[in-house]
A and B are shown apart, each in its own frame.
Chain A
Amino acid sequence: MIEFKDVKKSFGDKTVYDGFSARFEGITAVLGRSGCGKTTLLNIAAGLVDYEGEVKITGEVSYIFQQPRLIKNLTVLENLLLVGAGKEQAESMLAEVGVDGNLYPKELSGGMADRVSLARAFVRGGGTLLMDEPFRGLDIGLKTRMTDLFGRLQRDRGGDVLFVTHSPYEACAVADRAVILDEGKIIADFSGEKLNEKNLIEILKTL
């Protein structure tokens, strides 16, 4: 569970959130136009920015950033060990995502680096996962493989996921709830049968 209570956040004169409250469980996609505060919401949840108000999160936080953020002087395996994974656990996770643990980040393609970032987040087990457009910039084939991989790993892992995306397709493929943000508020909230690309696009094109 991820719960925001009366959260306020400004950057200089620009107010992004002024008393934002919401509660997320399961896999929730967050959509909205660029600059509406989607990444800021994840950064607040991760404790990476100062804010007013209260945020409650179940378990440990893992974060899949827009860029893989791998340490280039460490091998892929060492990157996973750094976040507290056991060696066997890290090796088994790397086998799952299909990346050789002895490689250095500079030897990875973009897709492989994204899979390592995914492995690093999932190797910590349950808890809360934050994802900031992790499939951005991937071609459709790779995107499909990545969303499938995410689905498979998430089934084993469990826990809650807050997932920022610009893509209604990804939201429907990955999430079981989708909210649309605008001016620091949730202006639309879809789940179950109402969560489909048509409904999301209809709202998004009015922003």
Chain B
Amino acid sequence: MKNKSDKKLVKSAVINLLFPLVTVLVMIAVYAIAAAVVGESLVMPKISEIVFAVGALLKSADFYKSLAFTLLRSLGAFAAAFVVGGALGIAASRLKLLQKALAPLMTFLRSVPTMAVIFLLTLWFRSIFAPVIVAFTVLMPIIYSQTTAMLSSLDDGIFEMCKVYKVPKKKVLTKFVLPQTLPQIADFSAGNLSFGVKLVIAGEALAQTADSLGGTLNLANIYIDTARLFAVTLLAVTVCFIVEVAVRAAALPARRWQ
């Protein structure tokens, strides 16, 4: 029995740790070979140059300030989109008329090209707000759709059973609706928050926002400091990854029944 559970543990460790690690190592190796073949630091800096640039960024107080402001904007945009998209999603699942009324707006917001939204909003708003509004505009309809889909996937039969057995509404919410939707909300939120960071960085780069990761990327681009460009990108990817993992980890207790 112990042997069987040990095997399971080893298998899980291989799948969850070793495979992603091998993929990352292969990506690094492919990049190192490509950089050696190109042989031009301005186009593809060497791995050592990128590592040096990452080190320099990590030692700089400005980087942490930029990172903090970018994360703050991302969190703000995500929180606003979560509240508005979630509330509209809940209301629309209960009122079909509202769902029909919102459909054209949501379809428009979902299908309008993200770059067009970024260009327009960076023109209309101050550079510190534009990235937040960009991320909100893109995330809100996504969260709205996820909320309506999630609520319509709840089993109507359970609501009928609760009605017959006169289960109080508060209990229906706390014992059925929330436990069954929280794991999905965590999954959506992890992806949306990470997507929000990307959108904010894109907005910041185009709006040339001061004290931001996007602004840092933009400056690196202007000065053709490719190693720094790669270093900021790498750190942004790491931040998105940490954000996703943290949100999913926070939701683990809600998955006990799964």
Point out residues on A near B: beta carbons under 8 Å: 46-48, 60-63, 65, 67, 69, 71-74, 78, 82-84, 104, 120, 124
Contacts and interface: CB of A to CB of B under 8 A. Distances in A.
Contact of A71 (B158, B160, B164, B166): B158
Contacts of A60: 166
A65 B157 contact: yes
Interface string B155-183: 10110111111110001000110011000
Contacts of A47: 163-164
Interface in B95-120: none
Interface in B116-170: 155, 157-158, 160-167
B165 A124 contact: yes
Given A82-B171, A82-B175, A46 B257 contact: no
A96 to B, nearest CB: 19
Nearest to B171: A82
B175 A78 contact: yes
A164 B141 CA distance: 45
Contacts of B167: 82-84
Contact of A72 (B162, B164, B257): B257
A47 B160 CA distance: 9
Contact of A63 (B155, B158, B161, B180): B161
Which 3 A-B residue pairings sit nearest by Cβ, starting from the closest?
A: A73-B257, A83-B165, A73-B179
Contacts of B158: 69, 71
A65 B162 CA distance: 12
A71 B163 contact: no
Contacts of B257: 72-74, 104
B157 to A, nearest CB: 5
A48 B160 contact: yes
A82 to B, nearest CB: 6
30 contacts: A46-B160, A46-B163, A47-B163, A48-B160, A48-B163, A63-B164, A63-B165, A65-B157, A65-B160, A65-B161, A67-B157, A69-B155, A69-B157, A69-B160, A69-B161, A71-B158, A71-B176, A71-B180, A72-B257, A73-B176, A74-B175, A74-B257, A82-B162, A82-B165, A82-B171, A82-B175, A83-B165, A83-B167, A84-B165, A84-B167
